[in-house]
Amino acid sequence: MGRKGKYYVSTPIYYPSDRLHIGHVYTTTVADCLARWHRFTGDDVLFLTGSDEHGQKIERIAKSRGVTPKEYVDKIVDSFKVLWKRYNISYDDFIRTTEDRHSRVVQEVFRRLYEKGDIYKDEYEGWYCTPCEAFWVETKLEDGKCPDCGRPVELVKEESYFFRLSNYADRLLRHIEEHPEFIQPESRRNEMISFIKSGLEDLCVSRTTFDWGIPVPVDEGHVIYVWIDALTNYLTGAGFLQDEEKFAHYWPADLHLVGKEIVRFHTIIWPIILMALDLPLPKTVFGHGWLLMEQDKMSKSKGNVVDPMKLADEFGVDAIRYFLLREISFGQDGNFSRRALIDRINADLANDLGNLLHRSVAMILRYRDGIIPQPGALTELEQDLQQAAAAAVAAVNDHMEALEINDALSAIWKLISRANKYIDEAEPWALNKAGLSERLDTVLYHLGETLRILALLIKSFMPETGEKIWTQLGIERCIESCRYEDAAWGGLQPGTKVVKGDPIFPRIDPEVLAEAEEASRMAETEQQTAAKAGEEKPAEKLQVSIEDFARLDLRVAEVKAAEPVPGADRLLKLIVTIGEEERQIVAGIAKYYTPEELVGKRIVVVANLKPAKLRGVLSEGMLLAASTDDSLGLVTVERELPSGAKVK
Ligand code: ME8
């Protein structure tokens, strides 16, 4: 167990060639969850992420936009930081490869390898894949294309520096064989072993055909190959050649977390650089699977990327964090789908966790004026619940040590189910009715205490949710100051006053969501059109031109009739007139308006929305309304204007 030791975890440093998508959020959320968990267990954590800013690809994009590479990356890197803030990513350091502290380290690493004779100068001819920044010999190409991404490669011929990977192949193989934890999961370890056994070519580690990189210290006309530059970030971030005490404390890294496509760089090139520098190797490189969209890899060019900022607006950050950590089997590919996300939110978060909290706090408020009572004698039920809590704490710890993130969450949810079942078995309402006061005290205490332990276990996965549970329990001590030991049974003080709160995860009605989706699809089309037209998307909110806005046909409409939609308790079916034309519109407003109230109202509708079916009922437009979490009001016009009047 790494308890009270140190823990150094890293994500890949991402290319600021474009905005990040949900795939990048996946890796970073897993790393964040591990970092938070290790801090909780008392480890001294260094969690490093950052941006990989050099290379031909960035240079080309910047040029096509008419800005310098630095101007281009500065803007995108800002958007990375905004995204990480939004997702509560608790990194300790963010490294940019354009920083001085980094280029000094990269140049020194290059110089040492050169002086040792591991890097030499020669003539190079080979195939280069710019999107992957990878070199290939002809025999490794597939149909003449990059074997990693399938895109075209370019023939490059230049004088270059080479790194003798082959010198270290045997040592590396021995290390991999003697350290089964070094490459995980096992399938990737086997792939790498066969790759090394098939023979390692010396690696070209400099380029002369572009400038956007760190100069080779012994030959300024060359820039250092971007992967040497990028991998070295893990040394810079740990203080190498800057703060030797820090470096001695944190190095070697405990975990480099990466996507499966860059395992090769991290388990062949990177350890060989370290061997050549006489530095210890990282303990583990874990290559996780890909997040797919309908079984296909996400990519900007395919237009199937999922924007994490929009998702967070729509569902909340913790719901997305939970989905990523729970749904995707860590190590394997997983599918991202809105339907699966909504199912998880409704079943696991709103139903299991949300209800447990809501019911427990409501009963403590109702039966004991919100004061956590002193527990009395225990029955088998309580003993069983206490055991389940202790088992959950131990299981989460074991799973996190073994990098079994989904299993850790399953263990937490097992305790949630146990506690929900405990309510049904202990029947607090019946105890209250029968006047069994001491027994009721015991049950209410046990619910409060189980929730306290759950908050501590959950906070590494869903930091905001941990806080919210804590706040509703009314515990004064800051949750962030709590450690693993505090998850032992009995920490909740009788006399603590719980606080009524909103449901932490409101249920999502898939039907109402369908309406929102239609609107967001439309917005996306607008956004793509704007992007195609070469316009820049600003960091946080899309700005639209007046022409974009004019594409919406907003009209005053008069409600002629309204009725519920059978079997959909949030939906109403309205018949409206827009001028002479009659339309049917289905809207998720049944919670806020009765059909009678609506008839005769003049509202505003999007008249040119593509028709859609909601619960099988045709909807030929969308009405406008302002809403908060618990209230909604229709948009109306201030003066008596005729139906059909244009809103602009
Ligand atoms: O490769 N599913 O940067 P990058 C899961 N700069 N993870 C995904 C993903 C998906 N669909 N798409 C991206 C680079 N990722 C180099 C790294 S490190 C010294 C240099 C995640 O911006 C995953 O972690 O292309 C993957 O390895 C990484 O983003 C690639 O990010």
Q: Same domain for 351 and 480? A: yes
Q: Same domain for 371 and 424? A: yes
**More confident position, 302 or 160:** 160
For the segment 409-432, the average pLDDT, to the nearest whole number, is 98
Percent of the chain residues past pLDDT 70, beyond the cut: 93
Q: Same domain for 423 and 460? A: yes
* Rounded distance from Cα 342 to ligand 1 centre (Å): 26
Q: Same domain for 529 and 453? A: no
Q: Answer whether residue 539 shows pLDDT above 50.
A: no
pLDDT band at 551 (very low <50, low <70, confident <90, very high): confident
Total domain count, the chain: 3
CB of 24 sitting under 6 A from ligand 1: yes
**More confident position, 609 or 116:** 116
At 521 the pLDDT is 60
For the segment 46-58, the average pLDDT, to the nearest whole number, is 97
At 526 the pLDDT is 53
Angle at 470 between CA 467 and CA 474, to 5 degrees: 135
Nearest CA to ligand 1 atom 27: 259
At 540 the pLDDT is 38
Q: Answer whether residue 627 shows pLDDT above 90.
A: no
Task: Give the domain extent around 541.
Answer: 510-545
Q: Do 611 and 578 touch, CB atoms closer than 8 A?
A: no
**More confident position, 531 or 165:** 165
What phi, psi does 492 have (nearest 5°)?
Answer: -80, 125
For the segment 580-590, the average pLDDT, to the nearest whole number, is 90
Domain with residue 391: its CATH number is: 1.10.730.10
Q: Cα separations (Å) of 442 from 388, 434, 447, 470, 482?
A: 17, 15, 9, 20, 24
* Rounded distance from Cα 230 to ligand 1 centre (Å): 12
What is the number of H-type helices and E-type strands within the chain? 23, 26
CB of 512 sitting under 6 A from ligand 1: no
567 Cβ neighbours under 8 A, 6+ residues apart: 615
In a domain, 74, yes or no: no
Q: Answer whether residue 534 shows pLDDT above 70.
A: no
At 565 the pLDDT is 85
The CB density around residue 523, as the number of other CB atoms within 10 Å, is 14
Q: In whole angstroms, what is the distance from residue 534 CA to residue 55 CA?
A: 22
In a domain, 389, yes or no: yes
In a domain, 123, yes or no: no
In a domain, 465, yes or no: yes
Nearest CA to ligand 1 atom 9: 23
CB of 13 sitting under 6 A from ligand 1: yes
Q: Do 571 and 595 touch, CB atoms closer than 8 A?
A: no
Q: Same domain for 481 and 344? A: yes
Q: For a substitution probing ligand 1, which of 15, 27, 73, 234 has the most ligand atoms within 8 Å of its CB?
A: 27
Q: Same domain for 448 and 562? A: no
Q: In whole angstroms, what is the distance from residue 176 CA to residue 508 CA?
A: 47
At 320 the pLDDT is 98
In a domain, 572, yes or no: yes
CB of 603 sitting under 6 A from ligand 1: no
Q: Same domain for 343 and 441? A: yes
At 383 the pLDDT is 98
- Of the candidates 496, 411, 477, 489, which has an alpha carbon nearest to the alpha carbon of residue 450? 489
At 569 the pLDDT is 78
Q: Same domain for 469 and 592? A: no
Nearest CA to ligand 1 atom 3: 14
* Rounded distance from Cα 231 to ligand 1 centre (Å): 13
- Of the candidates 329, 410, 354, which has an alpha carbon nearest to the alpha carbon of residue 30? 329
Percent of the chain residues past pLDDT 90, beyond the cut: 76
pLDDT band at 66 (very low <50, low <70, confident <90, very high): very high
- Counting from 1 in the atom list of ligand 1, the atom nearest the Cα of 15 is 22
pLDDT band at 543 (very low <50, low <70, confident <90, very high): low
**Mean pLDDT, rounded, of the chain:** 91
In a domain, 198, yes or no: no
pLDDT in tens, 317-350: 999 999 999 999 999 999 998 889 999 999 999 9
In a domain, 568, yes or no: yes
Instruction: Note the pTM of the prediction, 2 decimals.
Output: 0.80
CB of 47 sitting under 6 A from ligand 1: no
pLDDT band at 301 (very low <50, low <70, confident <90, very high): low
- Counting from 1 in the atom list of ligand 1, the atom nearest the Cα of 12 is 18
End residue of a domain, out of 526, 545, 564: 545
Q: Answer whether residue 591 shows pLDDT above 90.
A: no
- Of the candidates 158, 156, 159, 155, which has an alpha carbon nearest to the alpha carbon of residue 145? 155
Q: Same domain for 344 and 406? A: yes
Angle at 389 between CA 344 and CA 319, to 5 degrees: 20
pLDDT in tens, 248-295: 999 999 999 999 999 999 999 999 999 999 999 999 999 999 999 877
**In this predicted structure, which of 217-221, 224-228, 374-378 has the lowest mean pLDDT?**
217-221
Nearest CA to ligand 1 atom 31: 14
For the segment 482-500, the average pLDDT, to the nearest whole number, is 98
SS3 labels along 148-203: CCCCECEEEEEEEEEECHHHHHHHHHHHHHHCCCCEECHHHHHHHHHHHHCCCCCE
* Rounded distance from Cα 494 to ligand 1 centre (Å): 48
pLDDT band at 3 (very low <50, low <70, confident <90, very high): very low
- Of the candidates 278, 256, 277, 255, which has an alpha carbon nearest to the alpha carbon of residue 265? 256
- Of the candidates 110, 88, 134, which has an alpha carbon nearest to the alpha carbon of residue 235? 110
In a domain, 614, yes or no: yes
CB of 234 sitting under 6 A from ligand 1: no
For the segment 142-167, the average pLDDT, to the nearest whole number, is 91
Work out whether the CA dihedral 634, 635, 639, 644 comes out positive or negative: negative
Nearest CA to ligand 1 atom 7: 23
Q: Same domain for 537 and 397? A: no
Q: Same domain for 541 and 566? A: no
CB of 262 sitting under 6 A from ligand 1: yes
Q: Same domain for 346 and 453? A: yes
* Rounded distance from Cα 287 to ligand 1 centre (Å): 10
For the segment 188-199, the average pLDDT, to the nearest whole number, is 94
Domain with residue 643: its CATH number is: 2.40.50.140
Q: For a substitution probing ligand 1, which of 258, 286, 297 has the most ligand atoms within 8 Å of its CB?
A: 258
pLDDT band at 400 (very low <50, low <70, confident <90, very high): very high
* Rounded distance from Cα 265 to ligand 1 centre (Å): 12
CB of 290 sitting under 6 A from ligand 1: yes
